[in-house]
Amino acid sequence: MFSKKNPQKLSANDLRSSRYGVPLVTVQDPQNVVAEQFRVLRANIDFAAASLKNFKTVLFTSAEMSDGKSTAAQNLAVTWAQTGKRILLLDADFRRPSLHKTFNISNEHGLTTVLAMHEQPASVIHSTEVPNLYVMTSGPMPPNPSELLASDKMLRVVSWMREQFDMIVIDSTPLLLVPDAQALIPRADGIVLVAMLGKTKRRSMATAAHILKLAKANVLGVVSRDQRRADKGYGYGYGYGYGYGYTSTNVMKTDDTRKTSSSKSVSAKRMTDSSKVERKVPSDAKKETVHSTAATEKRTAATASKTSPTPKSSWSSFSYTSTGSEKSEAPSKVKEPGPSNDQEIPLVDIHAHLLPRADDGSDSMTTSLQLAKEAIQEGIHMIVASPNQMDGRYINDTDKVLSDVDNLNNTLKRVGIDLKILPGQEIRLSDQFLTAFDQGRLLTLADSKKYMLIELPNDSVPPLIHQVISKLREHKITVIIAHPERNLTLLNDPKELNKLARRGVLFQVTSSSINGFFGQQVADFALEMLRRGFVTTIASETHGVTSDQHYHLADAYAITNKLIGEGKTNIIKQNAVRIVKGEPVDGTTIQEFKFFRDNLDDE
């Protein structure tokens, strides 16, 4: 039962955990009886949540500090990942975070920098050596933690996380010490309350239960732990408390929030076995016990978590983030965020007019084969054929494109050219767009049902675009704007890009624009979009061998690499791969355009 006495003095294990994070017995010793207890607890929670509709977020909290909520949350996240689910472990304990210590990850960037400093969530998520497990640390200590967690921005971030992961496990603060956890209750589908036998006061537990009842929280159960046995095994506590006078060595400096460079990186360290004795799980950890009031004798195998499809390794841009009107900075000399510099990323072209006689691109099969050979020389082995659709001159409906792509693939195979062609369209935005979509005449890129390439009129951004964005979003399709750098309205007023980016629109810049084929003004605008983080990917938009608009994709990436650095260039390259796979793309922080085009040089 819970103690009426004053809390006992924290053990050496508790003090050690505050310095090195919590012990992951489920990773370090998966055959341990304690690891098995965590797996039993996972099954109990799944059973308790079986009646919930769309159970995706679970919040771990406690009545008091050092009751073991972080150890429970982090070990249970591992066990969920081991079932095949794609898990995000989120540290929402801004005041005394532990996740970064457990996984040996820098805490300079995390949830707080996403909420207060406009960073992309995807850029602060780290993979781990545990398959399917991803982590987001708390970030620097903010001056207003509870307000950030209760903000609309936090609601949008959690909604984004729900789209990207099968489950989000949130490690929060104790309920009775600060209001942070209470702000998160409406964001969670279920709550798990953690207590310490012989330590947690009865009154504290009663008060915590009352708070959860008032908040109409869906309490899945109470996890209790015997402190006496824990001291013989592994501990999880802290050597200092919450409340007034709390300080941190990693405090967010509000005066500097607008000065953070988008090129600053956070190393995504993998979880490794620590050589420190303090991080090891003693052999007598088997004496630890974990219990749950959510347990029931009726638990069956059918209630276990279903495995998810093959997990993705990337995330989509979080709607839109902005660092305001700050100027672009020169690329940092430190390692940029993005895929490893040593990792070879295949070049994929998502926009090319190489289907023979489909539009104003390739005029014959001979020309298409020549373009295919050029692509191979560039290092490209996959191209999305995107003929014009409904541009007033050409009609390339779904069935025709699929047939033409099959024909070209068969010809390439017959002549021995190792190039894969995928179906797509470059769809002109017009009044017939929504009707054509409902009729099934419009293709997504690579027929993935995830991304649609849309061309704006040359001299305008019709209001219809916002209706189209909403319509496609209902079908979980993301809009990619083709060559926005050549649209006259966007050239003259780049602030229009901000509006589109806020709606979650992505942007494909043409390699020939970067290389100067369309003139200095277009080239400058394309490079400025790259500097400011607006460019999702680069494509050739090749039209034929008689124009300069064919394969100079590698040259464009070389220019991009010098302009924004190898790390961010790798993100853009990798995004093309993700688009054809129908996977979420990654994003970088966007810096808003503040002035009109004629003032760009003065920013």
pLDDT, tens only, 502-555: 888 999 999 999 988 888 999 999 999 999 999 999 999 988 655 555 577 888
Do residues 383 and 420 touch, judged by C-beta distance below 8 A? yes
CA dist., res. 532 & res. 525, Å (int): 11
Question: In 364-463, which residue ranges form alpha helices assigned H by DSSP?
Answer: 365-377, 398-415, 433-438
The answer to whether domain 12-237+287-295 and domain 347-602 are alike in fold is no
Class level of CATH domain 12-237+287-295? alpha beta
Q: Which of 522, 524, 530 is nearest to 571 (CA)?
A: 530
**What pLDDT shows up at residue 595?**
58
**What pLDDT shows up at residue 591?**
86
Q: CATH code for 347-602?
A: 3.20.20.140
Burial letters for 388-419: b for 16+ Cβ neighbours within 10 Å, e otherwise? Answer: bbbbeebebbbeebeebbeebbebbeeeeeeb
What is this structure's pTM? 0.52
Do residues 178 and 95 touch, judged by C-beta distance below 8 A? yes
**What pLDDT shows up at residue 34?**
85
**What pLDDT shows up at residue 355?**
95
Question: In 260-329, which residue ranges form alpha helices assigned H by DSSP?
Answer: none
CA dist., res. 90 & res. 138, Å (int): 7
Do residues 373 and 411 touch, judged by C-beta distance below 8 A? no
Sheet holding 420-423, edge to edge: 347-352, 380-385, 420-423
**What pLDDT shows up at residue 550?**
57
Return all residues near 224 (Cβ < 8 A) that are at least 6 apart: 194, 195, 196, 197, 290, 291, 292, 293
User: Domain extents for the chain?
Assistant: 12-237+287-295, 347-602
List, for the chain, all residue ranges whose pLDDT scores fall below the cut of 70: 1-20, 225-343, 544-550, 587-588, 595-603
For 406-432, the pLDDT digits (tens) are 999 999 999 999 999 999 999 999 999
Diameter of the chain measured on Cα atoms: 87
**What pLDDT shows up at residue 430?**
93
